Structure 1
Amino acid sequence: MKLTELTAISPIDGRYRNKVSELAAYFSEFGLIRYRVLVEVEYFIALAELPLKQLEGISDDQKQALRDLYKNFSEADAQKIKDTEKVTNHDVKAVEYFIKDALDSLGLAEMKEFVHFGLTSQDINNTAVPLSLKEGLEQQYLPLLEEIVDELRRYSEDWKDVPMLARTHGQPASPTRLGKEIAVFVERLDKQIAQLKQVPMSAKFGGATGNFNAHQVAFPEHNWVDFANNFVNNILGLSRSQTTTQIEHYDNIAAVCDAMKRIHSILIDLDRDIWTYISMEYFKQKIKAGEVGSSAMPHKVNPIDFENSEGNLGVANALLEHLAAKLPISRLQRDLTDSTVLRNIGAPMAHAVIALQATRKGLSKLLLNESALHQDLEDNWAVVAEAIQTILRREAYPSPYEALKALTRTNTVINKEAIQTFIEGLDVSDDIKTELRAITPQNYTGL
C-alpha cells in the first residue's frame, strides 16, 4: 500500500495527522535534515568569521544565500539529500555534499572543504536534534500547555465561591470549593512548567571524540573551545557540554523527558478528576449537533476528550521513560544505540500534543451543574461533624470526637434535622449552640 493517512501504521501519521502536522517541521526526516543543514551552514559561516586566510572574502550576500538554504528549505531539497544518501549510505555526509554543491554555485568552490571541517556526524546530530527539540517545545508544546493552564486559571476564579463536597478515599469529607480544587492543578502545572523551562538544552560539539583533535592539529593557534562555546551557546542558542565523548551525554534531554512526564502525570490526574466529576453530574458537556455519544445508547454524551487525553499521555510517558533511561547510556566513547532511539523523539511529543488538544477541547465543553454540587452537600450533613467536634474541643467539652463518632455511625440518616437535634442535646451555652447551628455543608469550606 502507498503511505497515506489511511495506511499509516502509526496513528500520529494516520488518524491524528491533522492534529500534529505542524510537528513535522521539527521531528520528521525532513525536519531533521533541515536542522542539519542549518547547523552546517552556520558552522561554515562562523569559521569564515575567524581570521582564516582560506575563508577570506565571503560577502554578506553569499552568507545570506547560504542561510537561505535552510530558511527556504523545501521537500525537493530534502529529497535531493536523500537521493545522495542512497549513494553515500551516510545521512550527514549527504548534507555536506548538498552544501558543497551550493558553494560551487556561489563561486566559493575553493572553500568547500571547510564544510563539516574537523567534525564528526554527531557534532551535527547532537546540535540539530536539541535545537529541534528546543524549538518544538517553545513553539508548539508549551503554548498549548499554557493555554490549558490559562483556562484552568479562569475556571478557578469563576468557581472560587462554589462549595463542593470533597471525597477522600472515595468517601464524603470536609467540604471544599470547586475553584480551589482547580487551582491545585494550576499551581502544580505552573511549577513543573517552570522546571521544564529551566533545563538547559545541551549540545555536543568537539570533533570525533570531543577533544577538537582535527581542529587543533590544523590550526593550533585558535582557541577552539571558545569558538565552539560561542557557536553553540550564542549562535545556535543551546548550551554546549564542555567535556564529552563522541556524543552528547543526553543527561539534560533525559531531564526534559522527566519534566514532561511529571507534567503529563498531573494532566492524567486532572483528566481523571474531571471525568469523575462528569460521572457525578457536577459537570454537563456542551453538545455539538450531529455528534453521537454511543452507537447503541442515544442519551449518552461521553467524556471522550479526557479519555483520549489520558490514553495519549500514557503512551507519551512510556516513550519518554525509555528515552530518559536509554539515551544517557553509551558504551565507551560511542555506540549507535542512541541514534535510532533519538529519531523517535517526536513520537512522545506528538502523543502529548494530541492529548493537550483533547484536554483543552474537553475543558471548553464543561457546563457547571451547581444544583448537583448543592444536592451532594445537602445529602451529606455528616461532614459538619468535624466542625462541631472541633468547636467542642475548643470549649473543653468531654470526649467530643467520640460523641460525634457515635452520632455519625449509629444513625441511619444524618441530615440537617439529625445534626440540629444533636446540637440541642449538648450541655453547652446558647451562644455555642447558635454558633454550631450556623455551620452547614455549604459554608464549612475553610479558607
Structure 2
Amino acid sequence: MIRRNIFENISPLDHRYSLREEEYQDYKKYLSEKARIGYQLQVEAALVKVLAKREICPAEVAGELLEVVKDITVEEVYQEEKKTRHDIRALVNCIQKRVSDQAKPYVHFTTTSFDIVDTANSLRLKETSRELIIPTLIKLEKMLMDLADREKETVQIGRTHGQHAVPVTFGFTIAEYVSRLGNRIEEIGKKSQLLRGKIAGAVGAYNASHLFFDEPDEFEAEVLAELGLKAGSHSTQIVEPEYVTDFVHSIVSCFGVLANLSDDMRHLQRSEIAEVGEYFDKDQVGSSTMPHKRNPINYENVKSLWKEFMPRMITLYQDQISEHQRDLTNSASGRFIPEIVVGLLSAANRLIRVFSKLAVDYDNIKKNFTLNKEMIVAEPLYILLASYGHPDAHEAVRRLTLEAQESGKTLRELIPEKDELKAYLERFTARQREILANPEEYTGIAGKKTEAVIQKWQKKLKILGGV
C-alpha cells in the first residue's frame, strides 16, 4: 500500500487545487487512477456477462468472475505490472489469480488491451460529464443567470477596445456569459453522448471473436450496451480518436469562456474602474508588501489555469495520428486527459465561490458612466441626422465632438447652437429628443435581450440537467 503526504505530490492539482475535501471526493470518484482501473474492471465484467448470455461460459463462472472484479485493488495491479511491464495484462493476471481454473479462460476472452482501455475511458468520461462536469457548470450558469436578472436594468458604460463606447446594462454584460457558457454546457453534453467503445480485437476486424460468433459486431454491441455505450463506426486496435478529441475540445472551449469571463471581471476590479469586487475574508492578504491591496486573485487564478490546460488541446490533435492499426505514441499523453477535466472543474468551482459573494459598486458604475456621458449622444445624433437626410452626418457630428473637447462645452450644449442642424432637429420625435437629453436611456434593448437569454437557458437547463 502506497501512502504519501499530499504535499509531497508533484502535481499542483493534488496538493493545491484539490484541497477542498468535498471537491476532491467528487474528482477521485471518476478521475483518479483507482477510478481508471475500476472502469477497466467494469468492461471486463460486462464482457463476462455477455459471454454467459451467449452460453460461451457457464453462468456460475460468470458469477464467480463478477464477484472477483469487485475486490481487485489498484495497488495489486500496479504490483503485478512491475513484472508484466503491461498494465492490462497485469489487470488480467490479477483477476485470474483470484478465480478457479474453470473461470480463468474467460477472463479478457477475445479482447485486446485497447478494447478495455478505450471503452473504459469513454465510459468514465461520459459518466464524469453527466454526474460531475455538467452539474457543476449548471450551478455556475444559474448563478450568472441570477446576477444578470438582478442587474438587467443597471446602466453601465459599454467598452470596446478598452474604450468607453455606448451604454449597456451590467445584466447584459453578464448575459453574454450566460449564453456562451450555456452553449458550451450543451456541447459537452452532446459530445459526451457520442463517446464510443469497442470490443473488436487486435486490429478491429473481430478476428478473435469471429471464431465464436457469426456476427461478432452484434456481440460487441451487446457488451457495450451493458455499459451504456455504442461502438465506433470503424475501430482499429483503438476507437476512432475523434470522439475523444471532440469531447475534450468541448471541455477546453468551455474553459476559454470561463477565462474570458474572469478576465472581464478582473478588469472591472481595476482601481480606476472598481465596479465589482471579490469578497475578502477578514484575515485575507492581497499583497506581501502592500497591506491595502485587494487583488482579484480568483479571477486571475482561473485565467492562469486556462493558460496551462488550453495548450493541451494540441496534444489531443496530435493523438489523432496513430500509424496503421495503432502505435503507442498516445500511451502516455492520453493519461493526462483527466487533468484537463479537473482543471476545468477547479476553475468552475472557484467561480461559483467568488460569484456567490460578488460585490457590485453601483456608485462607481454610475461614476464611470458619467465620465463620457456627454459624448455618448454622438452615435444616436449622427444616426438620426442621417435618417432625416443629412448628407454627411458622421462628419458633422465628428466635428462637433472635437469642438466640444476644445471649447469645454458639452456636445448637448453645442447641438442647438448649430443653425445647419436645426432643420433636422425639428423633425426628431419626442422619444428621440428624450434619448439625446438622457443618454442613460440609450441602452437599446439590453434589458429585454438579457431577459430573453435568461428565459432561453432556464428552459434548456431543465433538459441539460438530465443529460
Q: Report the counterpart of residue 313 of structure 1 in structure 2.
A: 306
**Which shows bigger deviation, 183-192 or 420-429?**
420-429
Q: Which one of 340, 355, 359 corresponds to residue 351 of structure 2?
A: 359
Q: Does 1:260 align with 2:256?
A: no
| 3-state SS of paired residue (2:165) | strand
CA 414–281 in structure 1, closer or farther in 2 if over 3 Å, else same: farther
Q: In structure 2, what is the Cα distance between the partners aligned to 1:117 and 1:195?
A: 36
Q: Does 1:167 align with 2:159?
A: yes
Maintained 8 Å contact 1:165/1:173: yes
| 3-state SS of paired residue (1:337) | coil
Q: What are the Cα deviations for residues 349-369 of structure 1, in whole angstroms up to 9, with x where unaligned?
A: 122222112222222232111
**Which shows bigger deviation, 163-172 or 417-426?**
417-426
Taking only aligned residues, the RMSD between alpha carbons, in angstroms, comes to 2.4
Q: In structure 1, what is the Cα distance between the partners aligned to 2:128 and 2:226?
A: 18
How far residue 410 of structure 1 moved from its aligned partner, in angstroms, is 2.8
| 3-state SS of paired residue (2:332) | helix
Q: In structure 2, what is the Cα distance between the partners aligned to 1:433 and 1:243?
A: 66
**Which shows bigger deviation, 340-349 or 428-437?**
428-437
Q: Report the counterpart of residue 442 of structure 1 in structure 2.
A: 440
Q: Which one of 208, 214, 221 corresponds to residue 208 of structure 2?
A: 214
Q: Report the counterpart of residue 58 of structure 1 in structure 2.
A: 60
How far residue 430 of structure 1 moved from its aligned partner, in angstroms, is 5.3
**AA in 2 matched with 1:253:** V
Q: Does 1:295 align with 2:288?
A: yes
Maintained 8 Å contact 1:315/1:348: no
CA 27–111 in structure 1, closer or farther in 2 if over 3 Å, else same: same
Q: Does 1:79 align with 2:90?
A: no
Q: In structure 2, what is the Cα distance between the partners aligned to 1:101 and 1:235?
A: 25
Q: Report the counterpart of residue 341 of structure 2 in structure 1.
A: 349
Q: Does 1:333 align with 2:328?
A: no
Q: Report the counterpart of residue 278 of structure 2 in structure 1.
A: 285
CA 268–241 in structure 1, closer or farther in 2 if over 3 Å, else same: same
Maintained 8 Å contact 2:376/2:439: yes
Q: How many residue pairs align between the two structures?
A: 431
**Which shows bigger deviation, 297-306 or 238-247?**
238-247
Q: Which one of 222, 235, 238 corresponds to residue 244 of structure 1?
A: 235
Q: In structure 2, what is the Cα distance between the partners aligned to 1:415 and 1:7?
A: 65
| 3-state SS of paired residue (1:151) | helix
Q: What are the Cα deviations for residues 196-241 of structure 1, in whole angstroms up to 9, with x where unaligned?
A: 2212112232011111111222x24x42111101221x21122311
**AA in 1 matched with 2:206:** F
CA 434–27 in structure 1, closer or farther in 2 if over 3 Å, else same: closer
Q: What are the Cα deviations for residues 92-127 of structure 1, in whole angstroms up to 9, with x where unaligned?
A: 1222233234432xxxx4132011111111111111
How far residue 165 of structure 1 moved from its aligned partner, in angstroms, is 0.7
CA 69–365 in structure 1, closer or farther in 2 if over 3 Å, else same: farther
Q: In structure 2, what is the Cα distance between the partners aligned to 1:423 and 1:436?
A: 15
Q: What are the Cα deviations for residues 31-67 of structure 1, in whole angstroms up to 9, with x where unaligned?
A: 2211111111111111101133xx23438xx73x654
Q: In structure 1, what is the Cα distance between the partners aligned to 2:254 and 2:426?
A: 52
How far residue 267 of structure 1 moved from its aligned partner, in angstroms, is 1.4
Q: In structure 1, what is the Cα distance between the partners aligned to 2:231 and 2:256?
A: 30
Q: Does 1:118 align with 2:110?
A: yes
How far residue 182 of structure 1 moved from its aligned partner, in angstroms, is 0.9
Q: Report the counterpart of residue 465 of structure 2 in structure 1.
A: none
Unaligned 5+ segments in structure 1 are none
Maintained 8 Å contact 2:110/2:209: yes
Q: Report the counterpart of residue 130 of structure 1 in structure 2.
A: 122
**AA in 1 matched with 2:13:** I
CA 417–433 in structure 1, closer or farther in 2 if over 3 Å, else same: farther
Unaligned 5+ segments in structure 2 are 446-467
Q: In structure 1, what is the Cα distance between the partners aligned to 2:236 and 2:261?
A: 42
How far residue 27 of structure 1 moved from its aligned partner, in angstroms, is 2.9
Q: Report the counterpart of residue 387 of structure 1 in structure 2.
A: 380
How far residue 436 of structure 1 moved from its aligned partner, in angstroms, is 5.1
Q: In structure 2, what is the Cα distance between the partners aligned to 1:405 and 1:26?
A: 60
Q: Report the counterpart of residue 96 of structure 2 in structure 1.
A: 100
| 3-state SS of paired residue (1:438) | helix
CA 293–143 in structure 1, closer or farther in 2 if over 3 Å, else same: same
Runs of 4+ in 1 over 6 A off after TM superposition: 413-416
Maintained 8 Å contact 1:164/1:377: yes
Q: In structure 2, what is the Cα distance between the partners aligned to 1:387 and 1:253?
A: 49
CA 248–416 in structure 1, closer or farther in 2 if over 3 Å, else same: farther
CA 58–176 in structure 1, closer or farther in 2 if over 3 Å, else same: same
How far residue 164 of structure 1 moved from its aligned partner, in angstroms, is 0.9
Q: In structure 1, what is the Cα distance between the partners aligned to 2:298 and 2:240?
A: 38
Q: Does 1:42 align with 2:50?
A: no
